[in-house]
Structure 1
Amino acid sequence: MLAKTDYSRKTKWKHKTYRGERGVGGNFVYAGDDLLDKHLFVHRVAPGGFDWGPDASDEKACQLAIALLAPLRGVDHAVEHYYLFAENFVRRELTEDTWEIKSQDYRSKEYVKAIDGRDYPGNTASSPRDAPDLEDTDLESITYAEEIALAKKYEEVLWQSGNRRENLQRLNAIWNGEEDPASDAVASGTLYRIQGLDIPTNARGTLVNQFDSMGELAAWVYYGRNHSQLTGISDASAKKIRNARAGFVQYFGGETFIPEHDSREMSLSEMPKSRGDTAQQTFRGALGGGDE
């Protein structure tokens, strides 16, 4: 599933018709009646503008490719494929001084595939390895290409649900001590969005009712054993809960931010006799340390 971004919420870049014109003052590309934005905020390749046709420079053909692909398929698609689209479509299909196209004219997947014998420009977007440390990054000013690289770099500890840049800001706030996920209330909607926690609705309801905070729940999930001893959690759900530990690490911004486990396991001889106490004891018995 594509990540949510601020760009995907905007519709002003999306138009049915695009047209290009060469003039004395330079090359102009229009989205509807307005000039097409260069989309330098997606990936900065050619601040000077656009060009097309077989003689176009790598940089200007690539910038036009980004500006056409982002409204059509989103910023992730544009950053990943723009260099292929620049050669396959911008240089080889837009060969006239003036042109007019609609989005359906360049939807073909062939335009974003590498074809043998063609010389493609390089993809200059940052890789996760090249991305700076999150603590040293101004998240308000980075491009979407830089945002993508950061998200991949910190994928194992980055919450995956919702807006990606907001999640990077949230991760930074957790690391700085400005936000504490452990104090969050346990809500069914939150559990539904944790990666790997594919459990039935009634099992999610059990977790919501039994745990007061996400910190308490995460400690039980991550360090506990015998999860199926909790009334309402089947063996199958218990296995899925254990498989979702990586998703809880992402929610908390790292394993070190999951609270320590409070082991309250009792022996069978200590089990209370009343039915209500037995249900509570079943909950406590599921809180033992270690794993099955």
Structure 2
Amino acid sequence: NLGMSYSISNVCAEATMPNILRWVHFDMDERELRNRVKNKMIRPTTIPQSIEALIFEQAVAREALRLAYKQHKEFATTLKGVQQQRSVGDTFSQQTSGQTIVDNMKLDLLVASGGVLSHAPRMHQTAMLLIDAFQPEGFTTLAKDSIFMMPHLGVAAQVHPRAAMEVFERDCLIYLGTCVAAKGNGKPGKPVFTYNIEGDTLNESGEMMYGDIKLFPLGPGEKAKVTVDPTKMYDMGNGPGRRISREVRGGTVGLILDARGRELILPEDRSTCKKMIEKWVEALDLYPQLAAAAV
């Protein structure tokens, strides 16, 4: 059980504190953090009272989501021991049975639901939690369940399907924007892909280097055409090194271009890792309170 209330200790035990703290861009006392975890267990409905507590809770949430998704992919597999029909073309690309059927490149919508995700103070934080934990590839629309309504609408759909669908589309989903991410890994500072964005309110072009993440303003209801040209080491949905164009939708956060690589690998050196996380925090303006306090 990997949750953020009674079972938060399970997350800390399985993920380990160093893996949680890699998402925090400043030093925190580990003993104090363990006390916070225990307090959360016995008072699961409490909310963070400081920006530092919020950042730590969201760091734990990243690991909880990552571990839960990892388990899900392990459960969602093809049947083991089943004979597969193959063609001559499959000779050099054979896969054993029991492989996961979850393909991040084919997932085109991520919906955030649950306390930490739905009630984050800024929707930018919700979007970043989704991207860091699930590591979407290619073009992925991001949304959130406004007030943790989806489970209830699922029950309502059994009685009034049409009404449940209308509420789901109009009041439940809040679109955060779109994430465009490259699959593959490289060296910091090396080119990953070039981009060209064409829209009524947004027209940009440029190049993304490995380790970069950028946010462009693209509001709710707005759309734009995004064309990306990845280098030969990266795939963005049309094969390694092949250009791809898609129409993307905006949202309360905007359009996010992610060249941090997939899978997302953080530096083992704590000092280097903190600088990298701080760079990403600033790029998406996750915690403006911290930036204001630093001035």
* TM bucket, shorter chain: under 0.3
With normalisation by structure 2, the TM-score equals 0.19
- Decide which structure has greater helix share: 1
Higher relative contact order (CA 8 A, sep 6+): 2
With normalisation by structure 1, the TM-score equals 0.19
Larger radius of gyration: 1
